[in-house]
Amino acid sequence: MSLAAPVARTPRPLHRPRKVAPRYLFSCALSLLGNSVAGVALPLVLLATTGDALAAGTLALICAAPQFLIGLVGGALIDRFNRRNVSVISDILSAASVALLPVVDAVWGLSFGWFVALGLVGAVGDIPSMTARDALVPAVCERDGRSLQKFMGLTQSLDSLMVIVGPALAAFLMGSVGAVNALWFTAAMSLAAALTTLTLPRAIGRIGGKDVADESEAATAAGPGEHGIVGRAWDALRSGARVLFAGDALLRSSMLISFGIVMIMGSFQGLVLPVHFTAAGTPELLGYVLSAMSAGMLASSLCYAALASKLRRRTWFVLSLAGMALGILGLGLLPSFPLLALSALLLGLAAGPLSALLGFFIFDRIPAEMRGSALGTQNSLTLAAAPVAVFATSLAVEAWGAGAAALGLAACWFAATLWALSSRSLSSLDDEAAEAVAEASAHTPAVSAVAAPASTHASVPGPLAQPAPEMPRPCNTELS
């Protein structure tokens, strides 16, 4: 009788890294769900408090300059400190600023001054959080071995789902507990997003493999121009603007289209539609119109994620722009509620591929080491441009009415569409994409492996991937 030799077993690895993408997406979803509720409730609260569309535009304009500076400082800090930690701290500040709105309303009563003060506090949390979360995307994809372009399509779909649920949930909450108390939900979602982000590995927030201690030493060794908040903000603005606008025609054109979408749709969502529905005595219908838009974006984002390779990027681009023009024309006419919801649905269906494309090109073209400054500059410019557009729209509403203002916004989008279709830098998107991937493969193999063939906030998730910023909380409100 012989004993069989024991079979050798391959030892299991002591530690199998957990996927971080699901937790990252869950954190983004929580934050966006809260923002989409606030995006519906805040304009209505402001109109109910002041009773004046011009006041809403003025508030947005007052907040614009501080938001711009906060965005620049935040971008500079994100290129120096752990991005995960910045996102967590910023979300906690944002939750506190939103929670103060119902507290102030209960104790003293909200006023125009309180909106300004709490809006500035909210901007300190909102803008760095948004930039830090955007800057984490390539690191999340690289750690989990995901394609950046496909991941952008996934985030766009998830964002659209949240912004379908958010406005409808806002309508329910406002009917149940009132618009002001509905903001407790936004505060809770921001806090939950911070706690979820805290579970992500600290390593994905490092810049170029360096930790905070290394960054601090580098900052200490830097020249005197980089010391202090003002110096860092100025450096971030110069470097971010140079990356976004100076050398890359495709990136520059993508940014300009993103700004146009945010300005026009921010004015629709943050002023024209709330004024229209408030005047009609049906403010709760605003949430359902925005949900219809988000439902369209969800469907088209899923379609794009599955069929992106079936059509040329230029074809997706042209179809999206044409469909968006028709949808915005429908919004501009301010028809009855069913037609308005149908126009919003068409706009969402057309916008999904464009938003994912713009997000992919923006992320693909920004160097990893400059991502904080570039995205901080982008978010700052967006949050400065949108309030200017809202203020100009409020002047038009006061002078000629919501109907004329809506038609003016539609005309602006038609002009932007004609420019985008005739722009030389946007005429050969497939060739540009091939060159970008080839260059990334030659110079940054780790990033190119993630970004190879398949987005948005911003994206950067695309410009439509989150409630349109008509004012940051509480001064402002992705559209999906």
CATH of the domain at 201: 1.20.1250.20
| Structural domain includes residue 372 | yes
Six-digit token pair at 216? Answer: 């601090």
Residue 116 pLDDT > 90: no
pLDDT of residue 10: 53
- Which among 298, 290, 413, 418 has a CA at the least distance from the CA of 351? 298
Residue 15 domain-assigned (yes or no): no
Look up tokens 């921010």; give the residue.
Answer: 266
Considering only CA atoms, give the Rg of the chain: 22
* Position with higher pLDDT, 17 vs 145: 145
Q: Is residue 193 packed enough to be buried (19+ CB in 10 Å), middle (13-18) or exposed (0-12)?
A: buried
What is the rounded CA–CA span in Å between residue 237 and residue 224?
17
Neighbouring C-beta atoms of residue 308, cutoff 10 Å: 19
pLDDT at 222: 40
Share of the chain above pLDDT 90, in %: 18
- Give the 3-state secondary structure of residue 207: strand
Is residue 77 within 8 A of residue 86, CB to CB? The reply is yes
State in Å, rounded, how far the first CA of the chain is from the last one: 73
CA distance 412 to 408: 6
Residue 460 lies in a domain: no
In a domain, 12, yes or no: no
| 395-to-52, 279, 388, 455 alpha-carbon distances in Å | 11, 17, 11, 34
Q: What is the pLDDT, as a whole number, of residue 162?
A: 81
Give the model's pLDDT for residue 295: 86
Determine contact, residues 448/441, Cβ cutoff 8 Å: yes
Does some domain include residue 221? Answer: no
Q: Is the pLDDT of residue 436 over 90?
A: no
User: Does residue 443 carry a pLDDT above 60?
Assistant: no
Q: Tell me whether residue 369 is in a domain.
A: yes
Query: Is residue 67 pLDDT above 90, yes or no?
Result: no
Threshold 0.85, pTM exceeds:
no
How many folded domains does the chain comprise? 1
The verdict on residue 187 lying in a domain is: yes
Residue 2 lies in a domain: no
More confident residue, 125 or 183: 183
Kindly report which listed range (25-34, 155-164, 415-424) carries the lowest average pLDDT score: 155-164
Domain carrying residue 354: 21-211+227-451
